[in-house]
Structure 1
Amino acid sequence: MLQVIQSPSKYIQGPNALKEIGKYGQLLAKSYLVIADDVVMKITGAVIEDSLKQANIQGHFERFGGECSKKEIQRLGDVLKSNHCQGVIGVGGGKALDTAKAIAYYNKVPVLIVPTIASNDAPTSALSVIYTEQGAFEEYLMYPTNPDMVFMDTVIIAKAPVRLFVAGMGDALSTYFEGRACLEARATTMAGGQSTLAAMHLARLCYETLLEEGYKAKLAVEIGVATPAVDRIVEANTYLSGIGFESSGLAGAHAIHNGFTILEECHHMYHGEKVAFGTLSQLVLENAATEEIETVLGFCEQVGLPITLAQIGVQDDDRLQEKIMAVAKASCAEGETIHNMPFKVTPDKVYAAILTANQLGKAWLEQK
Structure 2
Amino acid sequence: MANILISPGKYVQGAGEMKKLGEYAEKYGKKALILITSSGYKRIGNIVEDSFAGKEVSTVFDYFNGECSKTEINRLLKVVEDTGCDMIIGIGGGKILDTAKAVAFHKSVPVLICPTIASTDAPCSALSVIYTDEGVFEEYLFLPANPNLVLMDTEIITKSPVRLTVSGMGDALATYFEARACKNSGAATCAGGLATSAAMSLAELCFNTLMEEGVKAKLALEAGACTPAVEKIIEANTLLSGIGFESGGLAGAHAIHNGLTVLEECHPMYHGEKVAFGTITQLVLENIPGEELEDIITWCIELGLPVTLKELGVKEVTDEKIMAVAAAACADTDTLHNMPFEVNPETVSAAIKAADAYGHYYLGK
Query: 1:255 is matched with which residue?
Result: 255
SS of equivalent residue, structure 1 residue 208: helix
CA contact (8 A) 1:160 1:224 kept: no
Q: Which amino acid aligns with 2:329?
A: S
Superposed displacement of residue 96, structure 1: 2.2
Aligned-partner Cα distance in 1 for 2:132–2:320: 30
Superposed displacement of residue 70, structure 1: 4.0
CA contact (8 A) 2:252 2:278 kept: yes
Q: Which amino acid aligns with 2:210?
A: L
Superposed displacement of residue 78, structure 1: 4.0
CA contact (8 A) 1:280 1:293 kept: yes
TM-score (norm 1): 0.92
SS of equivalent residue, structure 2 residue 32: strand
Superposed displacement of residue 135, structure 1: 5.2
Q: Which amino acid aligns with 2:360?
A: K
- Aligned: 1:360 with 2:358: yes
Q: In the TM superposition, what are the counterparts of 1:11-90 in structure 2 within 5 Å? A: 11-90=11-90
Q: Which amino acid aligns with 2:52?
A: L
Query: 2:144 is matched with which residue?
Result: 144
Residue ranges of structure 1 left out of the alignment (5+ in a row): none
SS of equivalent residue, structure 1 residue 225: coil
Aligned-partner Cα distance in 2 for 1:91–1:172: 21
Query: 2:125 is matched with which residue?
Result: 125
SS of equivalent residue, structure 2 residue 152: strand
- After the TM superposition, list the runs of 4 or more consecutive aligned residues in structure 1 that deviate by more than 6 angstroms: none
Q: Over aligned residue pairs, what C-alpha RMSD do you find?
A: 2.1
| Aligned residue pair count | 365
State percent identity of aligned pairs: 58
Superposed displacement of residue 322, structure 1: 3.1
Deviation digits for residues 138-183 of structure 1 (CA, Å, limit 9, x no counterpart)? 5433210011001111111111111111111111101101110110
Aligned-partner Cα distance in 2 for 1:312–1:86: 41
Q: 1:130 to 1:301 in 2, by over 3 A?
A: closer
Query: 2:218 is matched with which residue?
Result: 218
Superposed displacement of residue 202, structure 1: 0.7
Superposed displacement of residue 57, structure 1: 2.8
Bigger mean CA deviation after superposition, 259-268 or 158-167 = 259-268
Q: Which amino acid aligns with 1:223?
A: A
SS of equivalent residue, structure 1 residue 46: helix
Q: Which amino acid aligns with 2:357?
A: Q
Aligned-partner Cα distance in 1 for 2:357–2:137: 32
Q: 1:103 to 1:301 in 2, by over 3 A?
A: same
Aligned-partner Cα distance in 1 for 2:184–2:132: 37
TM-score (norm 2): 0.93
Q: 1:283 to 1:34 in 2, by over 3 A?
A: same
Query: 1:237 is matched with which residue?
Result: 237
